[in-house]
Amino acid sequence: MPELPDVETFKQYFQKTSLNQPIKKADVENKKILADTSGSNLKKELEEKKFDEAKRYGKYFFASIKNSSWLLFHFGMTGELKYFKNLEDKPSHSRLLITFENGYHLSFDCQRMLGKIDLIQNIKEFTKKKELGPDALKINLDEFKKRMQNKRGGIKSALMDQKTIAGIGNTYSDEILFQVGIHPKEKVKNLDEKNLEKMFNKMKKILETTIDKKADPEKFPSSYLIPERKKNGKCPIHNIDLQRIKVIGRTAYYCPKHQQKK
DNA sequence: AGTACCACCTGACGGC
DNA sequence: TGCCGTCAGGTGGTAC
């Protein structure tokens, strides 16, 4: 589920594999993933050019096309990047296929097609238009507290609101709340400054740790909730069944023992 | 402002 | 075996 740590991992992968390599071909294999551009336009923009920079903001990834626009990726729920040599290794839901002069390929694989690709001129303008809040990795404590203190609803929906903070989704909001011991439906208003500061620190630590582990739950510390976010999952601290509830239409997992409402 | 609900979309899974 | 409902969860739109 591409949230900030997953997208950051894609960015690092892209930097390692696809930067500064002359592009030979670019083919859109399914037009549904295109936002505001056409397949022929994308082809024209990419072929015989190269990527010279990679950036991330929240859950969005941007690849700079040298002397031209930015190629924007949003991964939706099932999007990912794959770099490979032989076409037989092409992922099964490849929607955009880029072929480099060196013979390797980069594919935007997106099974459910909830992802999007677009061309944009300016990242700042884009994030402004989307009204995205500060990136969760970059936001400082004061800004975090200020933004949270303006929220009236529940804490999980506040953490997932991209206009409040950009980058946290359903999975990682569960992890943050699990580690600070707060119920997903707790009203933000009921949290004091100390709660918010602890939450801020945990959020940063979780993002840094999971990026370091390349967003792979199998490599996460055994004290983490995420690997247990499944049917019959247990709290790694208390070894009891996790609770499953709906919060804003999303499934939230939490420990009924150490995440009780105030 | 916040929440509820729907749509987009595919594939895995459980029930019958 | 195979059909069907449900679920997964990011975003965006609408209704209340």
Q: Which residues contact A9 (CB under 8 A, 6 or more apart)?
A: A211, A214, A215
Protein side of the strand C interface (CB < 7 A):
A 1-3, 58-60, 74, 76-77, 112, 114, 130, 160, 162, 169-171, 229, 244, 249-251
Query: Which residues does residue A27 pair with via DSSP β-bridges, in sequence order?
Result: A97
* A 48-107: CB within 7 Å of strand B: 77, 92-93
Rounded CA–C1' distance between A86 and C13, in angstroms: 42
For residues A161 and A140, give the distance between their C-alpha atoms in angstroms, rounded to a whole number: 17
Q: Average pLDDT in the A182-188 region?
A: 95
Whether residue A241 is predicted with pLDDT greater than 80 in this model: the reply is yes
Question: Which class for A6: exposed (0-12), middle (13-18), buried (19 or more C-beta within 10 A)?
Answer: buried
Residues A52-107 pLDDT 10s: 999 999 999 999 999 999 999 999 989 999 999 999 999 999 999 999 999 999 99
Contact (CB, 8 A) for A49 and A73: no
Contacts of A52 (CB under 8 A, 6+ apart): A19, A20, A64, A65, A66
Question: What share of chain A has pLDDT > 90, as a percent?
Answer: 94
pLDDT digits (tens, 9 = 90+) for A202-221: 999 999 999 999 999 999 99
Strand C contact nucleotides, protein CB < 7 Å = 7-12
Rounded Cα–Cα distance for residues A158 and A194 (Å):
17
Q: Is the distance between the Cβ of A261 and the closest atom of strand B smaller than 7 Å?
A: no
Question: Looking at the DSSP assignment, which residues form a beta bridge with residue A118?
Answer: A72
Tens-digit pLDDT profile for residues A9-45: 999 999 999 999 999 999 999 999 999 999 999 999 9
The Å distance, CA of A151 to C1' of B1, is 8
Asked whether A71 and A48 are in contact (CB, 8 A), the reply is no
User: Of A88, A91, A42, A87, nearest to A65 (Cα)?
Assistant: A42
To the question of pTM greater than 0.85 for the whole model, the response is: yes
Nucleotide closest in space to A93 (CA vs C1'): B10
**What is the torsional sign of CA A205, A133, A160, A80?**
negative
* Residue A231, pLDDT score: 83
- Say how far apart CA A149 and CA A143 lie, in whole Å: 10
Cα dihedral sign for A249, A165, A7, A184? Answer: negative
For tokens 């696809």, name the residue.
A18
